[in-house]
Amino acid sequence: MPTILGQNQYGKAENRVVKITRDGATHHIKDLNVSVALSGDMDEVHYSGSNANVLPTDTTKNTVYAFAKEHGIESAEQFGIHLARHFVTSQEPIHRARIRIEEYSWERIEASDATSRLIGADEPKHSFVRKGQEVRLTQITYDGSSWEVVSGLKDLVVMNSTDSEFWGYVKDKYTTLKEAYDRILATEVSGRWRFNWTDDEQRMPHWEESYEQVRKHMLQAFADTYSLSLQQTLYQMGSRIIDNRGEIDEVRFSLPNKHHFLVDLEPFGLKNDTADGAVYYAADRPYGLIEATILRDGCEARIPEDLTNL
């Protein structure tokens, strides 16, 4: 049976690059995990093994490190844009470049008061501790004429210890869950948001500020929403981002419900309720998984339903 080649790409995945910028005694860290995927006129390498149009993946790796030095890393988005533009415009057979980046944040360790007094104004600021709150993400795609930038985060664990209920749901003969009128609501946020910036000639968003503001609105919505369902909270998180950030047209969340169940302490003669220092069992699996896309009115969804594909 005859076969034909379908969609394909190649590149170097997970290039770990750390860029240290020295501003006198104060140092700044950008810590990235960069994956490059290229596609274009690659039929012959699959059909006959001819590498005439193939830029080696080792070269893409070297390019990542060289660009970190030559261009610096102002932001994950800006760095990805530099790389995508380079691969598409410098290599004729390459028609499309996709750059995926994870960014790992570091927090400065401040000197103790005693050390500050000894060293004075020129105290060194070169000690850091890895932040454990979330991993920042971005994906830049360029086909020679238009851009698509999707950024996001993962592994951001949040909790409301009250102001959450769950009741009034469908019940059948298999339902055992009791209605809850004061429960813990916790989740590990995986979110992506798509920018409406598509043209290199237009004014770019301020990527660093945008990320911080999106994160702020996301967390404020989580904290401010009196939740009757995790779906309601998810929608409020996405809506607040769209309402406050004009550069973003689409937000997609995947929120696992990190269930906390009241422990049955009656066998020990103990009452366990939310009014008197309740004790919970934190279940890691199975878990409810709530996913949805929130769009600016009139826009189409483009972020894949499976967020792990970004």
Q: Are 239 and 294 in contact (CB under 8 A)?
A: yes
Show binding-site residues for urate: 57-58, 166, 183, 231, 257
Q: Which residue of the set 30, 258, 259, 260 is catalytic?
A: 259
Show binding-site residues for 5-hydroxyisourate: 57, 166, 183, 231, 257
CA distances 278 to 78, 83, 259, Å, are 48, 52, 15
Let me know if 259 is a catalytic residue. Answer: yes
Q: Which residue of the set 12, 61, 154, 258 is catalytic?
A: 12
The residues, any chain, with a CB within 8 Å of residue 202's CB and separated by 6 or more, are none
Show binding-site residues: 57-58, 166, 183, 231, 257
CA–CA dist 188, 186 (Å, integer):
7
CA–CA dist 252, 241 (Å, integer):
11
Q: Which residue of the set 19, 57, 59, 293 is catalytic?
A: 57
Let me know if 198 is a catalytic residue. Answer: no
Show binding-site residues for O2: 57, 257
The DSSP-derived string for the chain is ------S--B----EEEEEEEEETTEEEEEEEEEEEEEEES-HHHHHT---TTPPPHHHHHHHHHHHHHHT--S-HHHHHHHHHHHHHHH-TTEEEEEEEEEEE-EEE-PPPHHHHHHHGGG--B--EEE--S-EEEEEEEE-SS-EEEEEEEEEEEEEESSSB-B-S----TT--PPPBSS--EEEEEEEEEEES---TTSPPP-HHHHHHHHHHHHHHHHHH--BSSHHHHHHHHHHHHHHH-TTEEEEEEEEEE--EEE---GGGT----TTS---EEE--SS-EEEEEEEE-TTPPP-S-SSGGG-
Query: Residue 21: which region, alpha, beta or left (left: phi > 0; alpha: psi -120 to 50)?
Result: beta
Catalytic residues: 12, 57, 259
